[in-house]
Amino acid sequence: MPIFQPELETLPRPELERLQGERLRERFGVELEALAEQPFRMKSDLRDAYPFGLLQVPLEECVRIHASSGTRGKATIVAYTRADLAAWADCCARALAAAGAGPGTIVHNAYGYGLFTGGLGLHYGAERLGCTVVPVSGGNTPRQAQLLEDLGAEILCCTPSYALAIADHVPDPGRLELRAGLFGAEPWTEGLREAIESALGLAALDIYGLSEVMGPGVSAECAEARDGAHVNEDHFLVEVVDPQSGEPLPDGEAGELVCTTLTKEALPLLRYRTGDLASLTREPCACGRTFARMSRVLGRTDDMLIIRGVNVFPSEIERALLATPELEPHYQLVVERPGHLDELTVQVEGAADADAVRRRLHSVLGLTARVEVVPAGHVPRSEGKALRVVDRRST
Ligand SMILES: [Zn+2]
């Protein structure tokens, strides 16, 4: 499959590391060898500097503003110069090419347009590659399915949970032209990948990013390997650190992803703690790209649930649920504290025996939960990021 910028994406690693070293020195005056001694940047730094305190260029040189959703507090504002937007479009064009898109490919973009980076990020990447973009944004799910069929889109871009919601309205995936999907903006599992692939008849690929660092396209999977997302290492230097101690971890070990932007002008960040848990590998890939690959996001440092002293990530519950063939990949976790003890209710669609599911969660995760198996359509569908966890403890 053609690579969008092979001169960069297949750079031999010693040359790539030399380029990273140069850019790090230029941007931050820091030597590569001394990176691990630098302090971290956190989301709270961006919040404290709200809205424009961390900008490194005059505001009038910025041509675009985006913001994080602010679901965990005040939104963070990010800004882009013209060059930042060009680099972002390149990164998203690389991701689309890695999924098999090229000039003329019809791309159905159901990520939300607006302050959220998903919609416009993929939109300009698709145009950069020469694709024909259908800028549907989220919402009106039956129409999404109809447009997919009528316009013959080959690539679908949206959150994995929204892909499933669209699939509810696709009676026969054989009538669609879809070949691949770029799914991201929320953690998901291999089980969900299989469910989406069979429901929509496409190859489901992971795309990763966050607004503070750029938006979607920090990394993306290739169709050849579908085994970890290639990080655009000419633009981003990534590390994995122990979330508690902050010490760097070796390749293959899961920890918190830390990201340094190497080319950004408006909002460069040195050692930004993403809050996303993942691991890295620099093993060669079948596709020929030399960029390191990151695993799926295994969870977020701040969405770990502690239920009666047991630490558990929603993605672990998802994995356990999807291992039961009678269950559907639609679920919601409700956490309450009616008395002194936390109570977790797992609501999941399907036809399995609730007691068997409860025992399975207990044996696999050590988790005590109430399980409600409900008929298809009873769990609320998302039109963007899924609301997997409803935490009623703080209200
Ligand atoms: Zn690859």
CA distance 227 to 285: 9
Domains of the chain as residue ranges with CATH: 6-300 (3.40.50.12780), 305-391 (3.30.300.30)
Position 146 scores a pLDDT of 97
Which of 296-305, 316-325, 345-354 bottoms out in mean pLDDT, i.e. has the lowest? 296-305
């970890």: which residue's tokens?
228
**Distance, CA 231 to ligand 1 centroid (Å)?**
10
**Distance, CA 199 to ligand 1 centroid (Å)?**
25
Position 394 scores a pLDDT of 65
Contact 118, 185 (CB under 8 A): yes
**Distance, CA 286 to ligand 1 centroid (Å)?**
6
**Distance, CA 135 to ligand 1 centroid (Å)?**
27
**Distance, CA 265 to ligand 1 centroid (Å)?**
28
**Distance, CA 220 to ligand 1 centroid (Å)?**
9
The model's pLDDT over 222-249, given as tens digits with 9 standing for 90+, comes to 999 999 999 999 999 999 999 888 999 9
**Distance, CA 78 to ligand 1 centroid (Å)?**
30
Confidence of residue 381 (pLDDT cuts 50, 70, 90): confident
What does pTM read for this prediction? 0.88
Q: Outline where the chain has alpha helix (H).
A: 6-9, 13-28, 43-48, 82-98, 117-129, 141-151, 160-167, 190-200, 314-322, 354-365
Q: Which residues surround ligand 1, an ion (CB under 5 A)?
A: 222, 225, 285, 287, 289
Task: Give me the sign of the Cα torsion angle 142, 221, 328, 369.
Answer: negative
Task: Give me the sign of the Cα torsion angle 85, 230, 221, 312.
Answer: negative
- Name the amino acid, one letter, at 217: G
Region 185-192: mean pLDDT is 90
